[in-house]
Each structure stands twice: as C-alpha cells, then as structure tokens.
Amino acid sequence: MAIAGDLHGQWDDHDEAVLRHLQPDALLLVGDLADGDGRLGRRLASLPLPAACILGNHDAGRDASGRTMARMDQALGELHCPWSLRWLDPPGLAVVGGRPGSAGGGFNLSQAVQAHWGPLDLLQSAERITTAALAAPEGRPLVLLAHCGPSGLGSAASDPCGRDWKRPALDWGDLDLREALQRIRRQRPVPLVVFGHMHHRLRSGGARRRLLRDGQGTIFFNAACVPRHGHDVNGRAVRQFSWVDLAADGRVEAVRLCWHDSEGVVRAQDDLLSSEPVAC
C-alpha cells in the first residue's frame, strides 16, 4: 500500500509514473492536496487504482464559506471518505476517514467545514468515525485515515502530533479521533492509523518522530514528508511515497519511506518499522 503525504500541489506525471511502475494494492492520501484547487482533486479521482483520501485544513484555501471545500469534495468523488467507510476491493481493505479539514489542536470545526457538512461537536464526530469503522467487514484489515493524528501520542515538539511552531510544545492531536479509536478498539483491533498535517521537518530544526506503536499493537504513522518532490545526490528528480505492508490478518509488517525516480526505482529509503518504534 502506498501513502502520499501532504501534497501541497506537488503532484505530476512523475508521481503517476511511479505508481504505474510499482502498481500498489492501494493508495492513501492524507490531505492538504492543493490549497483548494479542484483540478488536482479530479486528477487524483481518475487514478486507475483503489484509493482513499481525507481533506486537510489547507484544502479550503482561504475560503471560510465552504464553497472551495465543497468543490474539492465533489472533485474527489467517492475517493473522499470523511466520517465514512471506503471499502477497497481489491485488495480487501477497509479505510475509515476521520474529520475533514482538521488543523489539529484538540477539536475545532472550521467555518468552511461547518458550512459544507454542518455543525457537530466532538462526541458526535467521534461517533460518526466509530459507526463507520464498526460497519467494516470483520476479519479484514482496518485503517483509520485522518489529516491530523489523534491526541495522546506525546506532547514534545518532536512527537508525531507535537506543536513545534510555538512554545510551549504540546500535544496538537485530534481529541475526537482519539475518542473514536478508544471506542472502536473495545470491539475490534485497529492495526494502523495514518495521518499527516504535522510536517516531519521541525520549525526549530531536527526531525519529527514519524512512527509509534502503542500497547494494543496499533501503528500510528505520520506520513507528512514535505516537500515530496526533490533530487537525489546525483541531481536526479525523485518523488516521495511511503509504503506499508499489511499481513492477511491486518498486522503491519513493514513501513518505509522511499524516494523514487521516474521508473519507480528507489533512490533513497528509510525503514521505519525496523527502527524499533517507541511505545506510547
């Protein structure tokens, strides 16, 4: 399974060439696609592979009316799964989207999100996510897909959802996603939670912790490698995708962050799961 972190408009023929060469079972996109540009949404929706997406806070552009967010939602079509289950078959993967448009920081429903989807509170949002997840087929892998990750993953600036742009550092994760996760895991396991929003490169320098595994075996993966487009040591253009290998029972077997040339060849790689993730 391939995962594309926050795109911020960085998507082109090279990205699609990588996918054509490697043919992943599925593609997940964690939001902040193109600052409200629906053309990219339509391009992503036309990709010839199973995919799911959640919109981020930047996808509203600077439009609090909700119209830009609505256009992005419409452009993505069934690819977009806010508060809902998207069943990808093949490969037989249940993806449940979290709250769209999240900017982290607990629970804050932006004006754009309220205008398009209507008002709701933290517990209502958590209940929507929970209901969608419990409707997923039993015995199949379940992935929670969010823009910002859940609260509870640490309060240091370098933690997966830690605030790094302002002091004091604190936990900037979503409270409704944490509440939903707790409810879901009372009835079924959640092997993987994928999100972005909090970029890997810290504002103060250094790198963010990108992967954690908690005591119940859930892997939390922050995929926000920004920028995704770059060049390798030889000046060759490369594009970044993360890759997750799931066992038939849903266990996460491998997580790696890769930079690919236009033929899909890996030019740099970071094996995250094998680096002994810290339990939270």
**Helix locations, the chain, DSSP H:** 13-22, 38-45, 67-76, 111-117, 122-134, 175-184
CA distance 152 to 252: 20
Summarize pLDDT for 16-57 with one digit per residue, the tens. Answer: 999 999 999 999 999 999 988 999 999 999 999 999 999 999
User: What pLDDT shows up at residue 144?
Assistant: 98
**280 pLDDT above the threshold of 60:** no
**Helices 175-184 and 122-134 meet at what angle, rounded to 10?**
40
Evaluate whether 11 touches 43 at the Cβ level (below 8 Å): yes
User: What pLDDT shows up at residue 274?
Assistant: 64
User: What pLDDT shows up at residue 47?
Assistant: 97
H-run or E-run covering 266: strand 266-271
pTM of the model: 0.96
CA distance 77 to 172: 29
- The percentage of the chain sitting over the pLDDT mark of 90, rounded to a whole number, equals 94
CA distance 253 to 130: 25
Q: Hey, where are the domains in the chain?
A: 2-273
Summarize pLDDT for 210-268 with one digit per residue, the tens. Answer: 999 999 999 999 999 999 999 999 999 999 999 999 998 889 999 999 999 999 999 99
Q: Can you name the CATH fold of 2-273? A: Purple Acid Phosphatase; chain A, domain 2 (3.60.21)
User: What pLDDT shows up at residue 275?
Assistant: 47
Structure tokens at 117: 């989807």
CA distance 76 to 191: 26
